[in-house]
Structure 1
Amino acid sequence: MAEQWTVSTPTTLTFDAEVTRLRVRTVAGAVNVVAADGPARLEVTELEGPPLQITLDKGELVVTYEDLTWKDFSWKSLATFIGTWRESTRRRAVVSLAVPHLTRIELGSASSDTVISGIAAPVTVHSASGSTTLVGVSGPVDANTVSGSVHAQSVSGDLKVNTVSGELTVVEGASRNLKANSVSGPVTVDLARDNTTDVSLTNVSGEVALRIPAPANAQIHANTTSGDVSSAFDELRVGGTWGAKQLTGTLGNGSGKVKITTVSGSVALLRRPAPEDGGLDVTAPKVLDFSKEDEA
């Protein structure tokens, strides 16, 4: 039998029944989800506007407003949803949840800032303008946002990000498959050591910067229609005609794959120092000058 709660003031709930799936739909505020042992727990510390509806049924825990549905937060519906909630009664909720590591997570919000930590199951996040922070997530991640930023640290599950103008930053990325599509948001990716990631980064006008560990092992194919290209690797070949530029080649044993495509956004390939070097590689990559080729 389903259990239901209506929360209209700051509240703490502990759930005796097993939780295997979490679905949260909010408008503004914050949503924090952390993996933890023991029974699932929910804490609402701030709440403004209509009450939250909490339901636990057959392992699925749902936290939402009565008039919101999951389809409101689909990638195609986000723009319409933004206009709707801006004209409605102000809603703000700060919600924190502790759930088992293998809980499947599905979060949708307009402008709530989201933090997800330690989850080993699939994670889906749809956001209009709120930031998304992922820490130590080992399950596959599908994050979609219009203008919100996405920050991923030590994420080892497959990572897929779609953004219009939001910033994507990946630190210590260990995903086997990493795919990002952006229109104008900057994309910065730092790969972990001993990684054989298959990387695909696409941007229109935003810049793309990728830092690869040394010794590097990857097949590289980067191209831009009119943006600048810079590289810290002498092994890579430079080509292109007119304004278009290509950077290709194989680093080390080529176990990883890197594909970067931009229209007018710049592309930078950086070298992460070997462990014995210590510190950060602060040497600026060489900007590839095509002026002489153009003159020829």
Structure 2
Amino acid sequence: MSEWSVAEPEKLTFGEPVRELKVRIANGTVNVVGTEESSARLEVTEIEGPPLVVTQRDGVLTVAYEDLPWKGFFTWLDRKGWRRSAVVSLAVPSSTRVEVGVVGAAAMVSGLDGPTEVKGVTGDATLVGLSGTVRADTVSGNVEAQALSGDLRFHSVSGDLTVVEGAGSSVKAESVSGSMIVDLNPADRPTDVSLSGVSGEIAIRLPHPADARVEANTASGTVSNAFEDLRVSGQWGAKRITGSLGTGRGSLKATTVSGSIALLRRPAQDDRWDTAPTTPADGAGSDSGDNSVSGPDGGASGIPADVPADPPAEAPAGGPTDGPTDKKVL
């Protein structure tokens, strides 16, 4: 095993193959990008507090604080440990399996084919162009994902989930009070989607034509539906949207207790997220006649507000940027 202690800005290049990457930091930023190169590179541009420990053993590269374990990660809330920060960038082979854990830090992961797992306490995560399976667990951190073609699993207490151009075959997400906005654009294959929450709002945009069995329900929230082939039932209290679109090969299930649910339709021949879905006041339910259910006050039911018109920022084109001149080749 090889080991280094990084207490100041530094660049490292690893000659030995890397098949798995593990990163754990508190505060700051983590950037991980997949490349076609066989070697891995690390750049630490800023660091405060205790040093980062970098180890490489049997194809596993670890960049972490010594007192921040992956197991029991969410229990690491010692205030003394927050007095630290690091800005870390890594370029690894695209097939690398990646685990990133952040406490109060932002994480960006892009261009990977291997499995990716992200854990965050309060830090937000941006995931771009990942084709392997993705799992994201947060306490209050938000997750933004763009152009994912692998399966996605998301779990949070109050964090929001935003998916743009989702092309994977499966999306399963749970959040107690966070909102979930999912824009699907599968490549001619069925998609299984399961979203559940308590008070968070749910908005799902499906391609046109869509191909799925639909079952969406809320105990006390409002619903909005843009598909003529789906049936909306319930005027007071619990409301449901059910039915089949196309041949019904895929499945869509959405459940919330008090949050609203909106099923939106992607315009035909338009695969870009360049137009924010309209609210019921603008006619979100106009495509399906009376499928928009009114709320108890007699007004049109709402859909999740602030649906983003623009996707998350694109991933960096290359690996770690140029920084300190001292570079070690290992």
2:237 & 2:88 partners in 1: Cα distance? Answer: 50
Q: Equivalent residue for 1:160?
A: 153
Identical-pair percentage? 53
2:283 & 2:12 partners in 1: Cα distance? Answer: 51
Q: CA deviation at 1:276?
A: 6.5
Q: Equivalent residue for 1:289?
A: 294
The correspondence for 1:201, drawn from 168, 192, 195, is 195
1:88 is paired with a residue whose SS is helix
Distance 1:169 1:276, change over 3 A: closer
Q: Equivalent residue for 1:54?
A: 54
Is contact 2:108-2:125 (8 Å) kept?
yes
Distance 1:23 1:277, change over 3 A: closer
Distance 1:174 1:47, change over 3 A: same
Matched, 1:179 2:172: yes
Amino acid at match of 1:209: A
Deviation sequence 1:272-293 (CA, Å, 0-9, x none): 011069864646422313769x
Structure 1 segments unaligned to the other structure (5+ residues): none
Amino acid at match of 1:58: D
1:276 & 1:100 partners in 2: Cα distance? Answer: 33
- How many residue pairs are counted as aligned between the two chains? 285
Matched, 1:10 2:3: no
Amino acid at match of 1:198: D
1:9 is paired with a residue whose SS is coil
Q: Equivalent residue for 2:92?
A: 99
2:203 is paired with a residue whose SS is strand
The correspondence for 2:229, drawn from 217, 229, 235, is 235
Q: CA deviation at 1:242?
A: 4.4
Amino acid at match of 1:212: L
Q: Equivalent residue for 1:44?
A: 44
1:111 is paired with a residue whose SS is strand
Matched, 1:192 2:185: yes
Q: Equivalent residue for 2:267?
A: 273
Matched, 1:256 2:250: yes
Q: CA deviation at 1:239?
A: 1.9
Is contact 2:206-2:265 (8 Å) kept?
yes
Amino acid at match of 1:60: V
1:188 is paired with a residue whose SS is strand
Deviation sequence 1:123-159 (CA, Å, 0-9, x none): 1111001011110000001100011110010001100
Is contact 2:147-2:166 (8 Å) kept?
yes
Larger RCO: Structure 1 or Structure 2 (Cα < 8 Å, ≥ 6 residues apart)?
2
Distance 1:291 1:92, change over 3 A: closer
Deviation sequence 1:214-267 (CA, Å, 0-9, x none): 111111000010000000112111223740111100011112210000000000
Which shows bigger deviation, 283-292 or 243-252? 283-292
Considering only aligned residues, what root-mean-square deviation do their CA atoms show, in Å?
Answer: 1.9
1:71 & 1:174 partners in 2: Cα distance? Answer: 31
Q: Equivalent residue for 2:76?
A: 81
Which shows bigger deviation, 279-288 or 105-114? 279-288
Q: CA deviation at 1:27?
A: 0.7
Is contact 2:202-2:262 (8 Å) kept?
yes
Q: CA deviation at 1:89?
A: 5.7
1:27 is paired with a residue whose SS is strand
Is contact 2:190-2:211 (8 Å) kept?
yes
Deviation sequence 1:167-211 (CA, Å, 0-9, x none): 100000011010000011110000015352100000100100000
Q: Equivalent residue for 1:32?
A: 31
Is contact 2:27-2:82 (8 Å) kept?
no
Is contact 2:226-2:263 (8 Å) kept?
yes
Distance 1:143 1:27, change over 3 A: same
Which shows bigger deviation, 140-149 or 279-288? 279-288
Distance 1:276 1:149, change over 3 A: closer
Q: Equivalent residue for 1:23?
A: 22
2:240 & 2:201 partners in 1: Cα distance? Answer: 15
Deviation sequence 1:32-66 (CA, Å, 0-9, x none): 00001221000000100000000000100000112
The correspondence for 2:105, drawn from 102, 112, 117, is 112
Deviation sequence 1:63-87 (CA, Å, 0-9, x none): 01122211132xxxx1x322x1x23
